Chain A
Amino acid sequence: MPRKVAVIGVGNTTYTSVKKENRERSEIAGACIRSALDFVGRGLSLSDIEAVYYSTVDGFEGVQRPERSMDCFGQSAGTAVFTVNTGGTAGGSAIKDAYHIVAGGLYDIVLVYGCCTLLAAVDVQQILNTASPPLIEKPFGIGAVHLGGFYLSRYQSEYGTTAEDFALVAAKSHKHAVNNQYAHVRRGYTVEQILDSPVICHPIRLREICPVSSGSCCLILASEEKARELSDTPVWIKAMSCISDTYLVGYRDFLGFPMLKKLAQKVYQEAGITKPLEEIDYAEVFNPFAGFEYLQYDALDLCKEGEGPKLVREGVTDLGGKLPVNLSGGTLCTNSGVAASVTRHAETCLQLMGRVEEERQVKDARVGLAHSWGGPMGQFNTLAIFERD
């Protein structure tokens, strides 16, 4: 029987633009882990961490095996360090791996570190382009935003989604990021301001695209025994899994997120969820391009296909609605690479612990969902269901 596993601690740093960043990368990590230890309190120290899961993306940090140069993981006390690399989802994948290893009884206290992977690369597209197969896809210079364009233009042609619909869901994230001390872009852009921004990659506008952020996020996971000892608000992992899509981008038909749909069915079944909109109290989904939220609503079975804009117009996924989504501002307002995939889980746990700013705190949230997407070309999805006592 797997053991119960809880998230007991969340660590964050301040988030800023990569251009303005003046901290060295292990300095950021050290501060982030310090804040997670302080979050738990009760004398928890670095030497109590038995293993660290370091999540990163190939090439983004400009060094081979970046975890080797990080001396802030308690290696001197004998901590085991593992690296998980599934592109943008690496944070989600690392949480899943850490969950499994604690559930399996090998370790009691494990830290998952989401690195600020965008810190060093002068132009991330240079590295993304090396992720494409050289013969068939590399010559087209495909990056994440182009994928976003394919998915969203297909959604638009299928359901007649308007530019206003896309701006509406972007504005929801921007509005709430204003109240999130850990958000990078906190301008509160309105629908009109979003529509005023130029189209970068049809149908995606500038203010519907995430920034390039620095900063990092980590989680501390613990076995049931340790969680009860160290926390009054443990958030239990009810179910968590991941799924892989095609490597070549051209092999997909871009109609919705079928792999996420498949993953959701599996994870919901494991968590005993049959009516997600009724049973889940808070969700963080990975929205580097604001319109992705609509495709995720479909895949997560929150609405009939194509009806996402209706949910947003009716406030169902806003604060006070049936299932508030991305009240942190989401990846749209803060994207420090792999850290952003850890942040989705951190934010959901913080909501369930009742530890976010009052202005965006969902009352009595008990069941939460966290999702990450990446690959670097959107190959992977991870999905987790959390529950507090």
Chain B
Amino acid sequence: MTGRTIKKEWTLDLDFSAPMGETYTRFVEGLKEKMFLGNRCGERTFFPPKPFCDRTLEAAGEWLQSDGTGTVEAFTVIHEKSKGVVFPDTEHFPEVPYILGVIRINGSDQCLIHFLSGFDNDDPQAWPEKIQVGMAVRPVWSEKRSGHILDIKYFEPCE
């Protein structure tokens, strides 16, 4: 055996389009107006909203509105970005290092992943010290909003 091998390269370039349903449509349209919508499904509340409760399959009830203020449940600071990934629908994906947070909006029963920012950019090494589980954060809205989860640029500490 020589250990010699050719490598065969190929690319899958595939197109998809899927409906997102009424609940999520209304949610992202709310983002355009700087509204963070949620809803109630039985005894639980969800920000972002859900079409049904995942425990009981009970259909969504009343709509709820919030300013998007929430608390940090968990976070990580990313120092290395995956090289091969293209994010076609995000104009302002941050450069490393950046922070991803798990955020509980308005006491929601389930959380949301989003960027955290607004800390001292000169000293990223100190970020983990500055972020506390349970700290209050608020959304920073983009000037240009198109009905996308990144109409919120990031969440920042409420002080």
Contact = CB atoms under 8 A, between A and B. Distances in A.
Interface of A: 22-24, 62, 122-123, 125-126, 129, 134-137, 139-143, 146, 148-151, 153-154, 157-158, 198-204, 246, 248-254
B24 to A, nearest CB: 6
A23 B18 CA distance: 38
Most buried by A among B24, B28, B73, B132: B73
B89 interface: yes
B111 A154 contact: no
Interface stretch (B32-40, B56-64, B78-86): B78-86
B140 interface: no
A136 B149 contact: yes
20 contacts: A22-B5, A125-B85, A126-B82, A134-B18, A135-B20, A136-B149, A139-B150, A141-B87, A141-B93, A146-B76, A151-B74, A153-B128, A200-B78, A202-B79, A203-B128, A204-B76, A250-B110, A251-B111, A253-B74, A254-B73
A135 B28 contact: yes
Interface of B is mostly: loop
A123 B82 contact: yes
Contact of A250 (B84, B112, B115, B148): B112
Interface string B63-98: 000000000011111111111110101100100000
B100 interface: yes
Nearest to B132: A157
B111 A198 contact: no
B113 interface: yes
A153 B76 contact: yes
A136 B112 contact: yes
A254 B77 CA distance: 15
A199 B79 contact: yes
B74 A153 contact: yes
Contacts of B28: 135
A150 B78 contact: no
A201 B113 CA distance: 16
Contacts of B93: 139, 141
A251 B20 CA distance: 18
Nearest to B112: A250
A126 B85 contact: yes
Contacts of A143: 82
B121 to A, nearest CB: 16
B141 to A, nearest CB: 16
Contacts of B137: none
A369 B48 CA distance: 39
The 9 closest A-B pairs by CB, nearest first: A149-B76, A123-B84, A125-B82, A202-B77, A22-B5, A254-B74, A150-B74, A154-B74, A251-B110
B78 A146 contact: yes
Contacts of A151: 74
B79 A146 contact: no
B114 interface: yes
Contacts of A158: 133
Interface in B124-150: 127-128, 132-133, 148-150
A164 to B, nearest CB: 15
Most buried by A among B83, B100, B114: B100
A134 B21 CA distance: 13
A252 B128 contact: no
Contacts of B90: 139
A200 B82 CA distance: 11
B108 to A, nearest CB: 10
Contact of B84 (A62, A126, A202): A126
A249 B82 contact: no
Nearest to B16: A134
Contacts of B82: 123, 125-126, 141, 143
A75 to B, nearest CB: 23
Contacts of A201: 76-80
Given A62-B10, A139-B90, A250-B102, A22 B4 contact: yes
A137 B113 contact: yes
A200 B114 contact: no
B102 A254 contact: yes
A158 B74 CA distance: 11
Contacts of B81: 141
B55 to A, nearest CB: 11
A123 B24 CA distance: 30
Contacts of A141: 81-82, 85, 87, 93
B85 A142 contact: no
A229 to B, nearest CB: 36
Contacts of B85: 123, 125-126, 129, 141
A139 B89 contact: yes
